[in-house]
Amino acid sequence: PKATSVAEILLPPPPPPPPTPETKQSDAKTTTTTTTTVPTPLPPPPLPVDLGRGDPVIPLTDPGTSVTTGPIEFGIGPSPSPASLYDPVGAKPKGNPAKWVTNDDYRPRWVAEELSGTARFTLQIDARGKVTGCTITRSTGHAALDSATCDLVSKRARFDAARDANGKPVAGTWSNSVRWSIPE
Query: Which tens digit of pLDDT belongs to each residue from 7-35?
Result: 444 445 566 777 666 555 555 555 555 66
Taking the CB of residue 8, how many other CB atoms lie within 10 A of it?
12
- Asked whether the predicted pLDDT for residue 43 surpasses 80, the reply is no
Instruction: Write down the domain spans for the chain.
Output: 92-97+105-178
pLDDT band at 6 (very low <50, low <70, confident <90, very high): very low
Q: Quick one: 92-97+105-178 is in which CATH superfamily?
A: TonB (3.30.2420.10)
Q: What is the rounded CA–CA span in Å between residue 161 and residue 78?
A: 30
Check residue 11 and give its pLDDT: 47
Decide: 122 and 175 in contact? Cβ < 8 Å: yes
User: Which of 93, 100, 88, 177 shows the shortest CA–CA distance to 137?
Assistant: 177
Indicate whether this model's pTM tops 0.75: no
